[in-house]
Amino acid sequence: SMSFQSCVQENAHFFVADMIIASLEKMKCNILSQQAESWGVEETSGSDGSYHTDLELSSYPGVKKSDSSAASSDSGYEGKSSYEPGSNSAEATAQELCRAFRKHWLQTDSAVQLSGCLSSSKQRVNIPRELESSLNLAEEIKIISKLRGSFGWAPPRSQIIFNIHPSVKRDAVVAAQNFTCVGCGTPIESSKLRYCDYLGKYFCDCCHSYAQSSIPARILSKWDFKKYYVCNFSKHLLDSIWQQPIFNVSCINKALYTKSKEMDRVREVQEQLFHLKKLLKTCRFGESVMKEFEQVPSHLTEELHLFSLDDLVKIKRGQLLPLLKDILKSSTSHVDGCELCQAKGFICEFCQSADLLFPHQIAKCKRCTECKTCFHKACFKSGGCPKCLRIAARRTFLETPSLVPP
C-alpha cells in the first residue's frame, strides 16, 4: 500500500511537470514569433538607410554590440541580431523547473519560485492560465500527499498501548473499520479477517501472519505472559521495543508489586543496588565491584521501577533476581570492609549509637525526605529531624537583623 501511494505521488509530480513544459513550449513559440516580427521591421528600416546606433542596438535582447568594421557589407552584418539559442530554450527552463520542484516540492511560495525560474530565461512573461491551473492542482496534491492513507482509511500508528481491549463483537469492530483491513485498507469479508490482540483490530491475511507475542498491557495489569496472535505491524513494533526500558511500574500499575512476589523482591534488591552504586562511584577502590554491575542493564541499577519487556520476562522466569542478589552481596561486602566507604556512613542523631547507617540498608534505615540523613527506623520521628531543625535555626539566625550596632 505504501508503494502504491508513492507511485501515485510520483505520477502526480510528472503530470504537473508535463503541464508546465507544455505551457512553456507555447510561451516559447509566442516569444519567437514576436521577435521575428520585430526583426522584420528592423531589416526594412535598415534597407531604407536608417541604421540604429550602437546604443540603440544594445538595448535589444540578443543583439551584440558591433565595432566600426561590422557596419560594412563585407563583415556579413546586415542589421540582424545574433540570437543565442540557449537563452530562450524551453527545455533548459523546464529542466531548471524540474530541479526546483524536486528540491522544494510544493512549497507554499511555489508561484514565487516559478517566476524566479522563468526569469532565468532572460524574458519577462506572464504566467498563462494553463500554468495557474497546474499550480492549483499542485496545491491540491500537496494537501492529499500529507494525509495518512485516504479519507476512509489510515495505517496504524506506532504507539505503546497500556490498556487491555474490551471484548467486543466481531461484526461491530469490523463495521467500525468500514469493512476494510486496518493494515492496508483493502476491503475484505468479515469472515476472512484476523484479530490482533495488541491493537484490538482486524487485519487481512497479508497483514496478519498469525505471529505471536506477549502483550505489555496484560503483563503490567494481570502479570499474564501468555502469547497472543498479533498482526505483522504489532509484531515488528513489540520486537523493536523489547529491550527498551520504557515501562515505569510505579506509574503504570503500582499494585503489581503486591500481586507478584517476584516483582516485590526485585524492587527491594533494585533499591539497595541503586544506593550502593551511587556510593561505589565515589570510591576509588570500587572499580572491581563496579564491573559486576555491567552484568545487568544499567537502568536496573540507576533508575527505580523502570523495566523493559525483556526484564519482566526474566523476572517471571526467575533469571534476573539471582543475578541481582549476587551483585548486591559483593557490593555490600566491599562497603563493609572499605575505610573510604565506611567514612561516608551516618550516625543516628536520635540514639547517638556508634552503629553506622547507609541508605542501602532499607531494613533498618530510615531517610529524611528533606536532608536525606539516615536514622534508625525505630528512632526516627517524622517532622523532628535534628539536621533539618539545625538548618532551619541557622537560616532564621542569618535572616534576623543583628541587634549589635556597627
The whole-number pLDDT of residue 85 equals: 43
DSSP class of 180: B
Are the C-beta atoms of 265 and 272 separated by less than 8 Å?
no
Q: In angstroms, rounded to a whole number, what is the distance separating the alpha carbons of residues 138 and 113?
A: 13
Are the C-beta atoms of 343 and 282 separated by less than 8 Å?
no
Q: How many CB atoms lie within 10 A of CB 401?
A: 4
Q: In angstroms, rounded to a whole number, what is the distance separating the alpha carbons of residues 381 and 178?
A: 63
Q: In angstroms, rounded to a whole number, what is the distance separating the alpha carbons of residues 274 and 34?
A: 84
Q: Which long-range contacts (CB under 8 A, 24 or more apart) does 137-140 make?
A: 137/15, 137/16, 137/19, 138/16, 138/106, 138/110, 139/106, 139/110
The beta strands (E) that lie in 103-177 are given as: none
Residues of the chain below pLDDT 50:
1-2, 4, 8, 41-88, 106-127, 130-131, 145-147
Closest by CA to 32, choosing from 113, 100, 87, 78, is 87
The whole-number pLDDT of residue 390 equals: 87
Cα 141 to chain center, whole Å?
24
Are the C-beta atoms of 222 and 316 separated by less than 8 Å?
no
Q: In angstroms, rounded to a whole number, what is the distance separating the alpha carbons of residues 156 and 339?
A: 58
The whole-number pLDDT of residue 70 equals: 37
The pLDDT tens digits for 353-371 are 878 888 888 888 888 878 8
What distances in angstroms separate CA 350 from CA 190, 354, 374, one per listed residue?
72, 12, 11
269: left (phi over 0), alpha (psi -120 to 50) or beta: alpha
Amino acid at 225: F
Q: In angstroms, rounded to a whole number, what is the distance separating the alpha carbons of residues 317 and 116?
A: 67
The whole-number pLDDT of residue 16 equals: 58
